[in-house]
Amino acid sequence: MYLIAPSILSADFTRLGEEVVNVIESGADWIHFDVMDNHYVPNLTVGPLVCEAIRPLTRALIDVHLMARPVDRLIHDFARAGANLISFHPEASEHVDRSLALIRDSGCQSGLVFNPATPLDYLDYVMDKLDLVLLMGVNPGFGGQAFIPATLAKLRAVRARIDAYERASGRRIRLEIDGGVKVDNIAEIAGAGADTFVAGSAIYGAGQDGDAHRYDSIIADLRAELAKA
Ligand code: DX5
Ligand code: ZN
């Protein structure tokens, strides 16, 4: 039930293909793909061309996290580039409901992302259009930041909303956490209700000292902590 989604933001970009293949072979579930535009967030990363390049290398779900504005054209571009799940920040779309519908219409699963200070009200009317809720444990823009503790209470609040929705609808919505997830806090984060865990620096930072860029032991450590949750 718990899924681990390494963020390639912290991968070695000189050998990105290998980093994607190895992290999945090491036991990860999804590839988390961070898209930053230097407007919505103060950093600039990768776009649909890179998604298209890694698509043939793995059958794992590609989880595209748009930190970019506007979002609608990017939805189309990433769907064509092989994304399976696309999430965006409500502040980055003029019409949140329309953007969610566009994601579904393009054949992808849809997600809405909440920054640390973003209220959960955006969930009030769109649960039927969501496959995933993503809570940021840090302010978006960079890997390697410390987890903001207030996120735990927010996770519990979203967990309660999702549980109520699932009971009423019979439909599953995943609750993903992104930012500051480490071996020493993942169990507590799972206890607060997350079921899907992005980890960038924790995973890719752990493998870089080895000679083969393998991530078996860090992923096993994360799973061992999850087993305690
Ligand atoms: C932050 C990104 C995250 C980031 C996580 O803006 O959305 O996905 O890569 O990195 P860590 O796990 O190092 O906090
Ligand atoms: Zn992310």
pLDDT tens figures, 49-91: 999 999 999 999 999 999 999 999 999 999 999 999 999 999 9
Ion ligand 2: residue ranges with CB closer than 5 A: 34, 65, 178
**Site to substitute for ligand 1 among 23, 34, 41, most atoms within 8 A of C-beta:** 34
Q: Which residue type does 155 have?
A: L
Q: Give the up-direction half-sphere exposure of residue 131: CA atoms within 13 A in the CB hemisphere.
A: 14
Determine whether the shortest distance from the Cβ of 65 to ligand 1 is under 6 A.
Answer: yes
Ligand 2 centroid–CA 168 distance in Å is: 30
Statement: the pTM of the whole predicted model exceeds 0.75: yes
Determine whether the shortest distance from the Cβ of 202 to ligand 1 is under 6 A.
Answer: yes
Q: Please list the residues that pair with 185 across neighbouring strands.
A: none
What is the C-alpha to C-alpha distance for residues 162 and 96, in angstroms, rounded to an integer? 19
The angle formed by the CA atoms of residues 23, 34 and 73, to the nearest 5 degrees, is: 130
- Look up residue 145 and give its DSSP letter: P
- Provide the residue range defining the domain that includes 173: 3-226
- Look up residue 206 and give its DSSP letter: H
Looking at the 3D structure of the chain, how many domains does it have? Answer: 1
Atom from ligand 1 closest to the CA of residue 43: 6
Residue appearing with tokens 């809570």: 135
3-state secondary structure of 183: coil
Q: Whose CA is nearest to atom 10 of ligand 1?
A: 143
Determine whether the shortest distance from the Cβ of 9 to ligand 1 is under 6 A.
Answer: yes
CATH number, domain with residue 49: 3.20.20.70
Q: Please list the residues that pair with 106 across neighbouring strands.
A: none
Determine whether the shortest distance from the Cβ of 26 to ligand 1 is under 6 A.
Answer: no
Phi, psi angle pair for 45, to nearest 5°: -125, -115
3-state secondary structure of 154: helix
What is the C-alpha to C-alpha distance for residues 159 and 175, in angstroms, rounded to an integer? 7
Residue appearing with tokens 């949750």: 229
Going residue by residue through the chain, which has 229 residues, state the pLDDT in tens, using 9 for 90 and above: 999 999 999 999 999 999 999 999 999 999 999 999 999 999 999 999 999 999 999 999 999 999 999 999 999 999 999 999 999 999 999 999 999 999 999 999 999 999 999 999 999 999 999 999 999 999 999 999 999 999 999 999 999 999 999 999 999 999 999 999 999 999 999 999 999 999 999 999 996 555 567 999 999 999 999 999 9
Ligand 1 centroid–CA 178 distance in Å is: 6
Q: Is the dihedral of CA 118, 65, 206, 183 positive or negative?
A: positive
**Site to substitute for ligand 1 among 189, 201, 203, 215, most atoms within 8 A of C-beta:** 201
